[in-house]
Amino acid sequence: LHPHLFSEIDIGPMRVRNRILSTGHQTYLSRGGRPSEHMVAYHEARARGGAGLIITESARFHESSLSDAPDLTIHEDSAIAPFAALAEAVHRHGARIIGQLSHAGRVTRRMGDGMRGIVYAPSPVAEHRNHVVPREMPAGMVEEVIAAAAEGARRYRDAGYDGVELMASHGLLFAQFLNPRVNRRSDRFGGALENRMRPLADSLAAIRRSVGPGMALGLRISAEELELDGLERPEVIEICHRLAGAGLVDYINVTIGSMAGLGSSVHVVPPMELSPAYVATGAAAIRAALDIPVLVAGRINDSGVAERVLAAGQADMVAMTRALITDPDLPNKVLTGRMDEVRACIGCNQACIGHFHSGHAISCIQSPRTGRELRLPGPETARHPLKVMVVGGGPAGLRAAITAAEDGHDVTLHEAAPAPGGQARLAQMLPGRAEFGGLITNLLGEAGRLGITLKTGSRVDAAMITAEAPDFVVLATGSTMLPPEIEGEGTVLPFEEVLTGRARTGARVLVCDWRCDWVGIGMAMRLAAEGCHVRLAVNGATAGQTIPQYVRDHWIGRLHEAGIEVIPYARLFGVEDGTAYLAHAASDQPILCEEVDSVVLINGRASDTALADEVARLGLPCVCVGDCNTARTAEEAIFEGLAMTRRALRK
């Protein structure tokens, strides 16, 4: 099975045991710019699970690179020992480790810190996402950066790393130098391609001189930046061809997109609406021009897809980064034929890149122990197995049931609806969100393997609890949407009714999204696709305000393409025939929304706690998880299902 995926590969002087790698990605697990014990545990879990190569997240190697994230830094020798601990942990499990060297240039929000508090880039050309206009980097500073790259690489070598990767991807500093639309210099670092390549080529040459022949030396680059003034594929192929031809790199690690643009940044971590392995054609075009290994990333979340990319000769290694974030044991499970045990990444981006944007340590919506390897205890067989009754089969209830069963308890799960899944089942019905249903598939698979008794169409009451006589009850009874508080005779349709086809709208629809998440965007897109004229009122600055920034910007573009007008800072206070009465949420001034046939409401949710009092009256030990505590995201619900159940059962 998967002969390509599990064959060895030589990259420069480094032999790797298989073709699966984890690309460098920000974890927020550093401390003081150094790898923390949590970062070590995070990467060690992926090495233990069978990944061939771990590339650790970008480290800044020169003080002129500004960042508002807790990045790794490698511009002092004091970094060597903590990086060595990380390398040693990865090596302990037979995986290889490569370190990234990164300089943000103009792609930063930070303007008041770091070296002289100034954002430096090749030329003072505005960046589109953070609205930064940088200052031209003096030629002397470019030379400093080149020398610092060599020193950073030397520190990786001294820490025991197998290789080093220079980042010219995603519109970062070296990409900015390469790009004639962004690099407007007239000195030896601007103008002709040879000049624009000089900072990158000189850095690679200096790194090789610094580390010697024993380390693999690679380049990360976007096959194309997909931005109006971004690097294009023919330019990238030519650059890679020249660097490889000059013997300056041992491999090229291909990605796509740019952090510098509102439309292109979605490709930095492509969400579920983009096709699996869609970067492979770009990688193949680069690979055809070179004779060194090419690595590729981009929505390769399935081992079968990964094998096909390799078998087709599109790349030599496949990045399965989020697949490993979700299930660190994926390589070993596939290798030993346990494919159906793999917990598949669904491309939701909520807890991986989503946590990066919200300033939290990395995790996974489906795998709460990701990023919390040292904080959340794993399964442990209970000395006295209990009879556990779980009420509610949404994500929180399913994860709670699995958690209890993993510890050896005898678990029965009751779900009132004909099928389990709760709100996740609705979410998968939204455009571009079908893969969200994978969350339920994964949970049901785990529940089935653990022998959990699942009873659907089973509405639990006090008599049923008494009859089942459990030792412990988990309540995961969810929530219901709050009714609207409005004046007027007009009707308001709850979004669930419209989504499930129980209610139909007229041709002119106002969608009122008071949660600013995926649902309003998805509901509006679905109605527009059905031919409705749609306006989307939200009670924040923009639609999707609570979802990860890169994905939100992507969907704002799709709403615009679909002709959907977004009304920000809105509050609904009345509905009459043909008119909805909105108020501006910040000024309280009325906004009249006329020619409306239907108003669809996505409102806040109230916890369903009806059973909690009954369970207390029966004197049974109990824990509440998920929406029945207070409205939760799926990630929070699953986290609670695991953490609170485990803690309560081990008391």
Length of the chain: 651
What residues pair up with 576 in beta bridges, in sequence order?
A: 579
208 binds ligand SF4 (CB under 6 A): no
Is 347 a binder of ligand SF4 (CB under 6 A)? yes
Give yes or no for residue 352 binding ligand SF4 (CB under 6 A).
Answer: yes
Q: Cβ closer to ligand SF4: 350 or 607?
A: 350
Q: Compute the distance between CA of residue 250 and CA of residue 293 in angstroms, rounded to an integer.
A: 7
- Cβ distance to ligand SF4 smaller for residue 398 or 567: 398
Nearer to ligand SF4, 264 or 633 (CB): 633
Beta strands in 61-95 (DSSP E): 72-73
Residue of 26, 64, 169, 350 that binds ligand SF4 (CB under 6 A) = 350
In the 8-state DSSP scheme, what is residue 115?
Answer: G
Number of residues counted as binding ligand SF4 (CB under 6 A): 14
What's the rounded Cα separation, in Å, for the pair 163 and 176?
24
Cβ 47 to ligand SF4, closest distance in Å?
18
Q: Is 443 in the site for ligand SF4 (CB under 6 A)?
A: no
DSSP H or E stretch at residue 167: strand 163-168
Is 322 a binding residue for ligand SF4 by CB under 6 A? The answer is yes
Which residue, 352 or 389, is less far from ligand SF4 as judged by CB?
Answer: 352
Spatial separation of the C-alpha atoms in residues 165 and 155, rounded to whole Å? 13
Quick one: which segment of 124-132, 363-371, 457-465, 521-529 binds ligand SF4 (CB under 6 A)?
A: 363-371
Residue 576 backbone phi and psi in degrees, to 5: -125, 175
Of 152 and 522, CB closest to ligand SF4: 522
Per CB under 6 A, does 440 bind ligand SF4?
no
Residue 278 has, within 13 A of its CA and on its CB side, a CA count of: 14
Q: Is 433:442 a contact under the CB 8 Å cutoff?
A: no
> Residue 346 Cβ, how far from ligand SF4 at the closest point, in Å?
5
**Are the C-beta atoms of 496 and 478 separated by less than 8 Å?**
no
Candidates 108-116, 139-147, 322-330, 596-604: pick the segment binding ligand SF4 (CB under 6 A). 322-330
CA-to-CA distance for 305 and 292, rounded, in angstroms? Answer: 22
| DSSP, res 628 | G
CB of 48 to ligand SF4, least distance (A): 18
Tell me how far, at minimum, the Cβ of 313 lies from ligand SF4, in Å.
27
Binding of ligand SF4 at residue 346 (CB under 6 A)?
yes
Q: Which range, of 62-70, 275-283, 344-352, 420-428, touches ligand SF4 by CB under 6 A?
A: 344-352
The candidate with the shortest Cα–Cα distance to 182, out of 133, 117, 119, is 133
Task: List the x/- string, 365-384, binding to ligand SF4 by CB under 6 A.
Answer: xx------------------
Q: Which is nearer to ligand SF4, 82 or 432 (CB)?
A: 432
Does 200 interact with ligand SF4 (rule: CB under 6 A)? no
Nearest one of 475, 378, 395 to 441, comparing CA atoms: 395
DSSP 231-261: --HHHHHHHHHHHHHTT--SEEEEE--BTT-
Strand partners, 596: 578
348 binds ligand SF4 (CB under 6 A): yes
CA distance 322 to 327: 8
**100-108, 127-135, 320-328, 376-384 -> range binding ligand SF4 (CB under 6 A):** 320-328
Shortest distance, position 626 Cβ to ligand SF4, whole Å? 17
CB of 52 to ligand SF4, least distance (A): 19
Q: Which is nearer to ligand SF4, 319 or 365 (CB)?
A: 365
When computed from its CA atoms, the radius of gyration of the chain, rounded to whole angstroms, is 26
With residue 146 as reference, give the H or E element that holds it. Answer: helix 139-158
Between 119 and 365, name the residue whose CB sits nearer to ligand SF4. Answer: 365
Contact positions toward ligand SF4, by CB under 6 A? 322, 325-326, 345-352, 364-366
